[in-house]
């Protein structure tokens, strides 16, 4: 099993077989440093798993670039606004180095969730992780130094 699949499976407590089924439904995409999955103000409802590289979620606020989170190998990333509400993203999701993702549309991911209780529980855990990350971000004052967020991921 590839390292990123093992990390993804462990992080979200998704059985390896379900993890492999999900990855089998996804499309591999390669990015160069600086390319974005979505830019602030664009719409993207797809869901991604990082197979290689480091990703940054950030936004511009009155000209200041504010880093919100980092994602690495085996972690999920997506625009919450696009996925949940089909709205434009309030953040950009950018490759910090040459990187690779596996992506799936919201509709296909939701069909995967509907296939089994294990897959549905994975979806629940995934969003629980997002809520926990948001609460940690808020408790830290909303914007601790980027280096601190990178080290605690």
CB-based burial, 71-107: b 16+ in 10 Å, e otherwise: bbbbbbbbbebbbeeeeebebbbbbeeebbbbbbebe
What is the C-alpha separation between 47 and 108, in angstroms, rounded? 10
Condensed to tens digits (0 to 9), the pLDDT of residues 82-110 reads 998 999 999 999 999 999 999 999 999 99
What is the C-alpha separation between 27 and 124, in angstroms, rounded? 22
What is the C-alpha separation between 61 and 147, in angstroms, rounded? 19
All domains of the chain in start order, with CATH:
3-152 (2.60.120.10)
Residue 149 has pLDDT above 80, yes or no: no
Residue 39 has pLDDT above 70, yes or no: yes
Mean pLDDT of the 56-79 span = 90
Report the alpha-carbon angle 110-71-127, nearest 5. Answer: 35
pTM of the model: 0.84
Q: Kindly state the tokens that stand for 132.
A: 């926990």
Q: How far is CA 89 from the centre of its chain?
A: 13
Q: What is the pLDDT of residue 123?
A: 86
The residue that leads in pLDDT, 106 or 145, is: 106
């Amino acid at each position: 099993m590839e390292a990123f699949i093992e990390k993804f499976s462990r992080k979200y407590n998704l059985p390896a077989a379900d993890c492999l089924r999900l990855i089998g439904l996804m499309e591999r995409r390669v990015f160069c440093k600086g390319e974005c999955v979505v830019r602030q103000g664009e719409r993207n409802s797809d869901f991604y798993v990082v197979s290689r590289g480091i990703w940054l979620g950030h936004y511009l606020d009155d000209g200041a670039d504010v880093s919100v989170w980092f994602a690495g190998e085996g972690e999920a990333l997506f625009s919450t606004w696009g996925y949940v509400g089909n709205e434009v993203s309030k953040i950009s999701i950018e490759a910090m180095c040459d990187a690779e993702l596996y992506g799936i549309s919201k509709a296909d991911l939701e069909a995967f969730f509907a296939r089994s209780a294990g897959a549905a529980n994975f979806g629940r855990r995934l969003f629980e992780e997002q809520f926990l990350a948001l609460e940690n971000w808020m408790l830290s004052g909303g914007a601790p130094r980027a280096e601190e967020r990178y080290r605690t991921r």
